[in-house]
Amino acid sequence: MDIFTAIEKRHSYRGMFTSKQVARDDLKKIVNAGLQAPSGCNAQTTSFVIVDEPELISRIGAVVDKPTVRDAKAIIVCIVDHREVYQCMSFCAEDYAAAVENMLLAITALGYATVWLDGALRMEGRAQKLAELLGVAKDMEVRVILPIGEPKEKCAPREKKPFEERAWFNRYGKGS
């Protein structure tokens, strides 16, 4: 699948997955796509734990109680390092966002589905619970999880506003 098709087909999938496992080679391809993302000052502040053990997925599902998480065949856990890398600034938000977007496109291109989950991790100490469960260093933060599998249901991307409502040449809000 070419990049523009993957962008067009990418969507947030919150449904159930088939019983098909996600191949480790595919998981490596997906995470490598994340590792290739740009990073502020090339500091590479984002790292990942790839979870494909059913028991561990079940334990993550107990912490993040969502059907898509409980039914996932694999979960990629995105971990960030908040260290300052340039003039007292951290670029970890930009770094992990770029990495996650690359992985979302790779997941789509390989025929799997996922949803970017981070808001749910910020409530009820879930991120900290996942960090403890996965042995994440205390100075790092679990920020995003991507539950992955082959979708049971076909789901189309949600409609986006047209270009003319969100993008302009040379001046905000002005015609071409």
DSSP letter assigned to residue 38: -
pLDDT at position 176 is: 55
- Amino acid (one-letter) located at 151: P
Q: What is the pLDDT of residue 13?
A: 92
**pLDDT value of position 92:** 74
**Minimum mean pLDDT among 8-22, 128-142, 158-172: which range?**
158-172
Cα separation, 7 vs 95, whole angstroms: 19
Q: List residues bridging with 76 in a β-sheet.
A: 50, 146
Share of the chain above pLDDT 70, in %: 99
pLDDT for 170 beyond 70: yes
What integer pLDDT is reported at residue 88 of this predicted model? 87
What is the Cα–Cα distance from 18 to 116, expressed in whole angstroms? 19
Token readout for 141 is 């933060």
Rounded CA-CA distance 121/104 in Å is 18
Sequence-ordered alpha helix ranges (H) in the chain:
3-9, 24-35, 54-63, 67-71, 92-109, 126-134, 163-166
| DSSP secondary structure letter of residue 111 | T
Q: Which of 79, 90, 85, 167 is nearest to 130 (CA)?
A: 79
CB 14 within 8 A of CB 114: no
Cα 155 from Cα 15, distance rounded (Å): 9
- Which has the minimum average pLDDT: 5-9, 32-36, 100-104? 5-9
List of domains in the chain: 3-166 (3.40.109.10)
**Res 94: pLDDT:** 85
d(CA 103, CA 95): 13
